[in-house]
Amino acid sequence: MDVVQLQSRLSEYLKSLFNDGTLDGQFLQLQQLQDESNPDFVVEVVTLFFSDSEKLLDDLSSSLEQPNVDFRKVDAYVHQLKGSSSSIGAQRVKNACIAFRGLCEEQSIPACLRCLQLVKQEYLYAKNKLETLFKLEKQVVAAGGSIPSLDAGS
């Protein structure tokens, strides 16, 4: 594939992530912060999101396994995950966290455990998609091209 084809494949892939709700406009904000003086910004922030999220998901699992579940703690973890997913534009993860917080108020462990599974699924889906996106970007750069930017309004 030549550079133009690679760039086109990248653009289409990114568009698909907006179309299925994986990403929202906040992701474009991050892309706009990336420039020659900060060329790896998006990958760095998203990588940070991955490691923070995985720790939070582990913490959530263990806190829901305690003999006396502290729902304030559970809610605090979900709040963190909701915040960082919102900040990078991981819309579906954010929405799953919003639903989870609603369940924390009801203090039902089975419901929370089910919701945690949903959050995990959305997280893994988003992670997979973003890793693929970054791989496609690398291919464009390796072929000598630059990463095309999507208009924030589109």
Partner 1 sequence: MSYASASSSSGDRTSDHRDLPHVLAVDDNHVDRKIIETLLLNSSCKVTTAENGMRALEYLGLRDGQPNSATLASKVNLIITDYCMPGMTGYELLKKIKGSSFLKEVPVVIVSSENVPTRINKCLEEGAKMFMLKPLKQSDVKKIRCHLLNCRS
Smallest separation, CB 149 to partner 1 (Å):
14
Smallest separation, CB 104 to partner 1 (Å):
15
Smallest separation, CB 116 to partner 1 (Å):
20
Question: Helix-strand-coil percent breakdown of the chain, rounded to 5?
Answer: 75, 5, 20
CB 109 within 8 A of CB 64: yes
Residue 21 DSSP label:
T
49 versus 147: smaller Cβ distance to partner 1: 49
Smallest separation, CB 88 to partner 1 (Å):
6
37 versus 67: smaller Cβ distance to partner 1: 37
8 versus 34: smaller Cβ distance to partner 1: 34
Q: Phi/psi zone of residue 144: left (φ > 0), alpha (ψ -120 to 50 degrees), beta?
A: left
Instruction: Please name which of 68, 122, 128, 127 lies closest in space to residue 100, comparing C-alpha atoms.
Output: 122
| Binding interface with partner 1 (CB under 8 A) | 26, 29-30, 32-33, 35, 37-38, 41, 44-45, 48-49, 52, 76, 79-80, 82-84, 86-89
Q: Which of helix, strand or coil describes residue 108?
A: coil
76 versus 143: smaller Cβ distance to partner 1: 76
Question: What count of Cα atoms within 13 Å lies in the side-chain half-sphere of residue 4?
Answer: 0
Smallest separation, CB 130 to partner 1 (Å):
13
Instruction: Please name which of 82, 77, 86 lies closest in space to residue 99, comparing C-alpha atoms.
Output: 82
142 versus 152: smaller Cβ distance to partner 1: 152
